[in-house]
Structure 1
């Protein structure tokens, strides 16, 4: 039964990782613009953020965001503000007079850090984990906390595989985009619009 639950959770996580959202779109955009390695750094950042959510749910911290409207609203405002900031950075780079290939590139650490911040400041992830992971626990299969941690790692593994695949596939078109300044500026502007929409969606999000 535990193996079946793990497989069911893995399949669920794969499907959810494929649903368009700020995380996988961030990986897609940066892989296409800067290459697959950049996408992998972003992926690792998001997976590190999921470690934080797993710990929060396992230790009961996520319940705070379910019961406290103030805590939930504060975190979603921070998350939305960060998404707006990223959108502004995309616009700023697209409007620069310098060719994009001549502009300062983000360091791997910056990409990794952005992935962590984007993921951790989204309270919907913690609440989603809080709603999802307990459904797969089994009485008599060991301490609930350890089961929750195990399920969290399965979810992270699925995310790593899906986002990694996105990074690899987007990386294929990266050399072509890098040769075209027009294509790069267009992608930056499209990404800015998408991140603004996602920020507004997060601001309008309600507690479960």
Structure 2
């Protein structure tokens, strides 16, 4: 893979990583409620889901998702339902309930699983990997090593995005230290998650 390809790939990929979405919103919310470190560790769940999607795309198995209408809509409905569930939980959350200990193993595992399910429940993600990453693969050379490099770079940049959004949430925690501020923030996040669920429900196969 040459330098010119990487020069084009890195900024385009990072823009994709930094785009607001359900998982990045979760990083903000988790950092606000549980702390910066916990939000970053929870992001591992997202990375695992994306790594699996990249592996599927590299193996060409994403064609199944593109060609199977039932599978696509099934995943889409489940993903949207989970986002709505998270929105409902945030909407009903007590303003003083955001002080869960960051070192509690069960709390971290639950948040990691949450990140994984939100990422895995979005069929548009694997379609992005199928449509985006191959644009930077040179078909005249071995495809698998190139896909592995591009996938690894994507995950590194995604980790940076997780840290950036969690840092944003850390500052929001200072701004919304009062119960009323926490309630407003939780309900704003709930509204945005509901909007993301609505967008997901309207998504169509390419």
Task: Say whether the fold is shared (TM-score over 0.5).
Answer: yes
- Which TM-score applies when normalising by structure 2? 0.90
* Aligned mates of 1:107, 1:86 — CA distance in 2: 15
Tell me if structure 1 keeps the 8 A contact 2:42–2:109. no
* Aligned mates of 1:64, 1:34 — CA distance in 2: 38
* Two-structure CA RMSD over aligned residues (Å): 2.0
Deviation at 1:102, TM superposition (A): 6.6
Higher alpha-carbon deviation: 155-164 or 133-142:
133-142
Deviation at 1:27, TM superposition (A): 0.8
- Which TM-score applies when normalising by structure 1? 0.89
1:31-180 equivalences in 2 (<5 Å): 31-94=31-94, 99-101=96-98, 107-142=107-142, 144-177=143-176, 179-180=177-178
Deviation at 1:63, TM superposition (A): 1.0
Post-superposition, which runs of at least 4 consecutive aligned residues in structure 1 deviate over 6 A? 102-106
Relative distance call for 1:102 and 1:152 in structure 2 (3 A) is closer
Tell me if structure 2 keeps the 8 A contact 1:22–1:198. yes
**Partner deviation per Cα, 1:148-172 (whole Å, 9 max, x = no partner):** 2221111111111122122123213
- The 3-state SS of whatever aligns with 1:99 is helix
* Aligned mates of 1:19, 1:57 — CA distance in 2: 21
Tell me if structure 2 keeps the 8 A contact 1:100–1:181. no
Count of residue correspondences: 203
Deviation at 1:7, TM superposition (A): 3.4
Relative distance call for 1:90 and 1:13 in structure 2 (3 A) is same
- List gaps (5 residues or longer) in structure 2: none
